[in-house]
Chains A and B, each alone.
Chain A
Amino acid sequence: MLKHFVAPGIVLAALIFLPLVHSQTDKPRSPAPTAPGHDGWGRPIIPLAKDHKADPAPPHDISGTWEQPDASGNQVLGAKAAPEDGKPEHRLPYTPLGLEALNRTKPGNGTRSALPTEANDPVYSCDPQGFPRTDLHELRTTQILQTPQKVTILYQYNKIWRVIWTDGRELPKDPEPRWFGYSVGKWVDDYTLVVTTIGTDERTWLDRAGRPHSADLRVEERFHRADRDHLELTVTIDDPKMYTKPWVALDKFVMELQPSSFDVREMICSPSEFVQYNSLIGHTASDKDSH
């Protein structure tokens, strides 16, 4: 007789307590002295307190809405772990072909920065950033959705998304190039997903500093969930045509988990807004004959 009540009892208990478990993940955070802005719904973003003790990370799970705590994901001088700031330790190991390709790019930033109207950064005409530039420029609020077959990443900048297949498939042989390439992921431990991407479009730059890549580019991303509230991303570039050895572009870049109610602001490259920007200030600032 008792047996008849066990299964329904478990279901009933689950129905009662699951919402409580869910609400715990949305518990209010300790208030911080300053709030770094607002989400898309106008609600303040509250960073984690410095003495915040996070729960352990759930295994094989990097889902959630992740926010850079200090806006350093913008990476205005190029890949954060190797910015183009003139420091010798940040000089990349270019091959002769890589150096040639680099000299064709005219970024708006870094030691080689050009005037606004002379720069030839493809995103200035609202071309897709492509991959891996989505990690290496304007890496802002990042939403990660996960099923057993795939991890889907939704990026704030330009509201674009990409898929990482985790269903065990192999990378394609000689694929047709795509803006965001082809990605497969594998859990190397309970908290680390390693993603490999190939087949990216050569028209894209690696970062805002105009670092080039070839069709042979192979990118490794390591998503490591250090605890429940922190995700670290490391990106390594391997492109023997352009660089004599692999180099780390992003080194344990930290993102903080946001409440599931977090609404992501729109941030979209609009061609008409660029035209307006150019007509009002871009050309005014670049005009050499005005002085």
Chain B
Amino acid sequence: MRNKLAAISFAVIFVLAISVPLFAHHGYAAYDTDKKVTLKGTVTRWIWSNPHCMIQLDVTDDSGHVVRWITETENPTTMTRNGWTDKSIKVGEQVTVIALPVKNGNPAGRILEVVLSNGERLAGRVNPATQVKPDDSPKP
């Protein structure tokens, strides 16, 4: 029962948001900037490195399948301006990631925001308080 509840609580919520252009400038060739997804899952990897930091997480979809997502933020230097550190995310932690999905349908996204298990919110891109501009494109 408990496991079932846990599974439900980890269940993926894919929310295809209202089609509002989020960041209307260019540089997101791989991303669908008109959509966003909300992913609830368990962190399997947290990589704090250049060119961009990444969170890999296992998300269970409505049919019970576990899908491994990879999501990226920006580089560590920029992320420190948004309040992140190398210890912001912990492997095994349950988090909610709100991200722009890639256009090709693969389970990958560009992080807009992360909600930690304690409710703390971390901005993946712009912190309006510090007017930090995003480092806005993935690099190969």
Inter-subunit contact A273/B50 (CB<8 Å): yes
Partner of A108, one of B71, B102, B139: B139
Q: Is A192 an interface residue (CB 8 A)?
A: no
Interface residues of A in 106-141 (CB under 8 A from B): 108-111, 113-119, 121, 124, 140
Inter-subunit contact A108/B140 (CB<8 Å): yes
Given A77-B25, A108-B27; A71-B140 close (CB under 8 Å) = no
Inter-subunit contact B104/A291 (CB<8 Å): yes
Q: Is B59 an interface residue (CB 8 A)?
A: no
Q: Is B52 an interface residue (CB 8 A)?
A: yes
Inter-subunit contact A290/B105 (CB<8 Å): yes
Q: Chain A nearest CB: distance from B71 CB in Å?
A: 8
Chain A contacts for B130, CB-based, 8 A = 34-37, 70-71
Inter-subunit contact B136/A281 (CB<8 Å): no
Inter-subunit contact A116/B140 (CB<8 Å): yes
Main secondary structure of the interface of A (DSSP, over half): loop
Query: Closest residue of chain B to A45, judged by CB?
Result: B81
Q: Is B22 an interface residue (CB 8 A)?
A: no
Query: Closest residue of chain A to B102, judged by CB?
Result: A285
Chain A contacts for B138, CB-based, 8 A = 108, 116, 281-282, 285
Partner of B49, one of A109, A276, A281: A276
Query: Closest residue of chain B to A283, judged by CB?
Result: B140
For chain B, the count of residues having a C-beta within 8 Å of the partner chain is: 44
Partner of B50, one of A121, A140, A270: A270
Inter-subunit contact A113/B27 (CB<8 Å): yes
Inter-subunit contact B77/A110 (CB<8 Å): no
Query: Closest residue of chain A to B107, judged by CB?
Result: A284
Inter-chain CA distance A77–B25, complex, in Å, is: 9
Q: Is A38 an interface residue (CB 8 A)?
A: yes
Given A280-B56, A286-B140, A291-B104; A113-B50 close (CB under 8 Å) = no
Q: Is B64 an interface residue (CB 8 A)?
A: no
Chain B contacts for A121, CB-based, 8 A = 139
Q: Chain A nearest CB: distance from B134 CB in Å?
A: 7
Inter-subunit contact A108/B51 (CB<8 Å): no
Q: Is A268 an interface residue (CB 8 A)?
A: yes
Chain A contacts for B30, CB-based, 8 A = 115-116, 285-286
Q: Is A269 an interface residue (CB 8 A)?
A: yes
Chain A contacts for B134, CB-based, 8 A = 76
Interface residues of A in 60-109 (CB under 8 A from B): 70-72, 74, 76-77, 85-86, 108-109
**B100-140: contact bitstring with A at CB < 8 Å (1 yes, 0 no)?**
00111111100000000000000000010111111111111
Q: Could you give 12 example pairs across A and B, Cβ below 8 Å?
A: A37-B77, A37-B80, A37-B82, A70-B133, A76-B134, A85-B26, A268-B50, A276-B49, A280-B47, A280-B56, A281-B54, A284-B107
- Pairs A-B, 9 closest by C-beta atoms: A37-B81, A285-B30, A109-B27, A291-B105, A116-B140, A37-B80, A36-B130, A34-B129, A284-B108
